[in-house]
A and B are shown apart, each in its own frame.
Chain A
Amino acid sequence: MASVSIRNVRKSYGPVEIIKGVSIDIQDGEFVILVGPSGCGKSTLLRMIAGLEEISGGTVAIDDRVVNDVPPKDRDIAMVFQNYALYPHMTIADNMSFALRLKNTAKSEIAAKVERAAGILGLGPLLGRFPRQLSGGQRQRVAMGRAIVRDPKVFLFDEPLSNLDAKLRVQMRTEIKEMHQRLKTTTVYVTHDQIEAMTMADKIVVMHDGIIEQIGAPLDLYDNPANMFVAGFIGSPAMNFIPGSIGGDGFTTEDGSRLPLGGRVPAASDGRPAVYGVRPEHFRLADEGLAAEVVVVEPTGSETQMVLRPLGVKAGREDRKRELTWVLRERTGARPGEVVRIAPDPALAHLFNPDTGLRL
């Protein structure tokens, strides 16, 4: 087990900078998840921790030892790849024991470790098979088993669940989480699925275009997003953003409707343009609220999701992003075309600077 500290790390391919100075501190035993949209550099960062990519600037330290120049084999890390990267010519047992055999570990010790890992993951009956004879979920487990057997300082996962179907993904999510609670190995886990991030992480790192937007505990990011990007990225369905300006003790939308701020008006900000952010689940029906026409109703059973078009916003492509999403727990008889009046819960709403995206 170990701590990992990433200091101002940069990565360029030729003139293009992919990672633009990233710093993360990972405590011993922590489960850290890197999330962000596709292409933001998550895999690249993970591979730099693994030693599979050279580091263009800054330092990566494992247990306070700078490992920039240490090849992967000497970093004492284990990695689970997106496509599992199981050795096709080795049995499951051989796959799992490969690293140990390279280190000339005693046979009896190898056997014990493989057995233990197989026990944790329920792979016992499969040990003699070859990877091609396994299902996707089983392969995924073998890939994790290969990492567990190593008993490394750090686990690295690169989108390990993205090749599984939805149901299996949920199940494996739980298993990985359980495994971590049991082994307490420091883990860095890459995903672009924010639900995975929310449910598994001790700490989430939100990345975007090679920089870190915010680091924090899952619910902390949800409740206190540092900026519009994080606010929009974390949470599903995404947060509603309503442009307008701050005035008096409330917020005036561009159409002139008033939204409450609950007395949290930032100082000396009268008339200042801002973006009002409110999560879909934080609206409620209110007689004095925003009038909007129901466009779509999507019941999922446990909840109902609605797309609303505020009155005054024209139907059409360019106004699509001014439509609002509302999620309510109870069932509703509302039909498309009806007009409802909704109001946000001011205590849970956020204000953002429209230029910088930062939360006010």
Chain B
Amino acid sequence: MSRPLRKLLDKAGMAVCVLLLVSPALLFFLWMLSLSLKFEIDNGAYPPILIPDRFAWKNYTTIFEGNSFLLYFWNSLIVTGAATLFALLVGVPAGYGIARMRAHKSAVVIMIARMTPGLSFLIPLFLLFQWLGLLGTLWPQIIIHLVVTVPIVIWIMIGYFETTPMELEEAAMVDGATRWQIFAKVALPIAKPGIVVAFILSVIFSWNNFVFGIVLASRETRTLPVAVYNMLSFEQVSWGPLAAAALVVTLPVLILTVAAQRQIVAGLTAGAVKGG
């Protein structure tokens, strides 16, 4: 009798523990969802209401009507997509080269770049873009997002290529492959999981970036985080649509996080533990 009881208690304790762990995250995002689905009256109610009687679906439709939200979504997609693809294009081979040359010292540059506040890249690049007459297009943002994406990709790929066995590439050398063939046909296919990790993290950090946008974006070139921020400051929008917009902005990232949590954890801790 006492044994099953104890097992039950253990299970209950475990459940409580688990709930405690994830509740700050879970409750926050639930509240965010709740805010986004309530009419203004419900959002202003005291005591607050978690689940309203009527859902304000129109909060979601309004943000797509009035605010060129689709354009901003498109901008975000272009900036993140271009910055990530370009980073993969140059960063994957670079990670390979650095790993194979055992030029670990060069990774220090990447680390310092990671330490540098984004704003200190902004001042000089802002002036450069102004001088080049690029402001008002998406190019400045695409280029400056490389500050985020390129180091991530290089960093992760160095770690990945270092763990792939050299013997395979030597076998390919003996088999008659040139260095490009070795890279393309042996090293790259084996490093695919690493590329996936680099891709996911690069996308997330680029998508989330805010500081580059508030300086470089004009009305037509805003990315989603900037657009949402501007909703707060300039157009006196009520809480419902604002929360809905915020949720729309971050939803792709949240879905990616839960779906690819294993890759994300691997990438973050690999970078972190080695990065120290």
Contact A103 B176, beta carbon cutoff 8 Å: yes
Query: Which residue of chain B lies nearest to A82 when distances are taken between CB atoms in the complex?
Result: B167
Contact B173 A99, beta carbon cutoff 8 Å: no
Contact A98 B174, beta carbon cutoff 8 Å: no
Contact A83 B165, beta carbon cutoff 8 Å: yes
Contact B190 A71, beta carbon cutoff 8 Å: no
Among B168, B170, B174, contact of A78 (Cβ-Cβ < 8 Å):
B174
User: Is residue B26 contacting chain A, with contact meaning CB distance below 8 A?
Assistant: no
B52 to chain A, nearest CB (A): 53
Binary flags per residue of A67-104, CB closer than 8 Å to B gives 1, else 0: 00001111101110101010111000000001100110
Task: Report Cα–Cα, A150/B165, bound state, in Å.
Answer: 23
B175 to chain A, nearest CB (A): 4
Among A81, A89, A156, contact of B189 (Cβ-Cβ < 8 Å):
A89
User: Is residue B186 contacting chain A, with contact meaning CB distance below 8 A?
Assistant: yes
User: Is residue A50 contacting chain B, with contact meaning CB distance below 8 A?
Assistant: yes
A224 to chain B, nearest CB (A): 36
User: Is residue B172 contacting chain A, with contact meaning CB distance below 8 A?
Assistant: yes
Contact B177 A73, beta carbon cutoff 8 Å: yes
Dominant secondary structure of chain B at its interface with chain A = helix
Interface-central residue, A50, A73, A156, by most chain B CB under 10 Å: A73
Contacts of A51 in B (CB 8 A): 173-174
Query: Which residue of chain A lies nearest to B168 when distances are taken between CB atoms in the complex?
Result: A85
User: Is residue B130 contacting chain A, with contact meaning CB distance below 8 A?
Assistant: no
Binary flags per residue of A138-169, CB closer than 8 Å to B gives 1, else 0: 00000000100010000010000000000000
User: Is residue B178 contacting chain A, with contact meaning CB distance below 8 A?
Assistant: yes
Contacts of A71 in B (CB 8 A): 173
Interface-central residue, B171, B178, B190, by most chain A CB under 10 Å: B171
Among B174, B181, B186, B192, contact of A87 (Cβ-Cβ < 8 Å):
B186
Query: Which residue of chain A lies nearest to B169 when distances are taken between CB atoms in the complex?
Result: A85
Dominant secondary structure of chain A at its interface with chain B = mixed
Which residues of chain B in 179-237 are interfacial with respect to chain A, using CB atoms and an 8 Å cutoff? 181, 185-186, 189-190, 192
Contact A88 B176, beta carbon cutoff 8 Å: no
Contact B170 A52, beta carbon cutoff 8 Å: yes
Task: Report Cα–Cα, A275/B167, bound state, in Å.
Answer: 44
Interface-central residue, B174, B186, B189, by most chain A CB under 10 Å: B174
B211 to chain A, nearest CB (A): 40
Among A52, A83, A88, A146, contact of B173 (Cβ-Cβ < 8 Å):
A52
Contact flag A79-B174 (CB < 8 Å), given A87-B168, A89-B190: yes
Contact A102 B190, beta carbon cutoff 8 Å: no
Among A73, A87, A98, A146, contact of B178 (Cβ-Cβ < 8 Å):
A73
Q: How many residues of B contact A (CB 8 A)?
A: 18
Task: Report Cα–Cα, A291/B98, bound state, in Å.
Answer: 67
Query: Which residue of chain A lies nearest to B178 when distances are taken between CB atoms in the complex?
Result: A73
A55 to chain B, nearest CB (A): 16
Interface-central residue, A50, A51, A52, A85, by most chain B CB under 10 Å: A85
Task: Report Cα–Cα, A75/B186, bound state, in Å.
Answer: 20
A15 to chain B, nearest CB (A): 19
Task: Report Cα–Cα, A150/B171, bound state, in Å.
Answer: 13
Task: Report Cα–Cα, A102/B172, bound state, in Å.
Answer: 10
Contacts of B186 in A (CB 8 A): 87
B256 to chain A, nearest CB (A): 25
- Interface size class of chain A, counting residues whose CB lies under 8 Å from the partner chain: 20 to 34
Query: Which residue of chain A lies nearest to B177 when distances are taken between CB atoms in the complex?
Result: A102
Contacts of A99 in B (CB 8 A): 175-176
Contact B174 A73, beta carbon cutoff 8 Å: yes
Contacts of B167 in A (CB 8 A): 81, 83, 85
Contacts of B175 in A (CB 8 A): 73, 78, 98-99, 102, 146, 150
Task: Report Cα–Cα, A77/B175, bound state, in Å.
Answer: 8
A331 to chain B, nearest CB (A): 47
Contacts of A83 in B (CB 8 A): 165, 167
Contacts of A50 in B (CB 8 A): 170, 174
Task: Report Cα–Cα, A193/B116, bound state, in Å.
Answer: 56
Contact A98 B172, beta carbon cutoff 8 Å: yes
Contact A85 B181, beta carbon cutoff 8 Å: no
Contacts of A88 in B (CB 8 A): 168, 190
Contact A81 B173, beta carbon cutoff 8 Å: no
Contact B181 A81, beta carbon cutoff 8 Å: no
Contacts of B168 in A (CB 8 A): 85, 87-88
A167 to chain B, nearest CB (A): 26
Task: Report Cα–Cα, A150/B185, bound state, in Å.
Answer: 18
Contact B170 A81, beta carbon cutoff 8 Å: yes
Task: Report Cα–Cα, A74/B178, bound state, in Å.
Answer: 10
Contact B190 A73, beta carbon cutoff 8 Å: no
Contacts of B165 in A (CB 8 A): 83, 85
Contact A102 B181, beta carbon cutoff 8 Å: yes
A317 to chain B, nearest CB (A): 41
Contact A52 B172, beta carbon cutoff 8 Å: no
Contact A77 B174, beta carbon cutoff 8 Å: yes
Which residues of chain B in 42-98 are interfacial with respect to chain A, using CB atoms and an 8 Å cutoff? none
A-B contact pairs, 29 of them (CB 8 A): A50-B170, A51-B173, A52-B170, A52-B173, A72-B174, A73-B173, A73-B175, A73-B176, A74-B176, A75-B174, A77-B174, A78-B175, A79-B170, A79-B174, A81-B170, A83-B167, A85-B165, A85-B168, A87-B171, A87-B172, A87-B190, A89-B189, A89-B192, A98-B175, A98-B177, A102-B177, A146-B171, A150-B175, A156-B174
**Nearest 6 A-B pairs (CB), nearest first?**
A99-B175, A85-B171, A73-B176, A89-B189, A85-B167, A72-B173
Give the interface of A toward B (CB within 8 A): 50-52, 71-75, 77-79, 81, 83, 85, 87-89, 98-99, 102-103, 146, 150, 156
Q: Given A89-B192, A103-B176, A156-B174, 11 other A-B contacts at CB below 8 A?
A: A52-B170, A72-B173, A73-B174, A73-B175, A73-B176, A77-B174, A79-B171, A79-B174, A81-B170, A89-B189, A146-B175
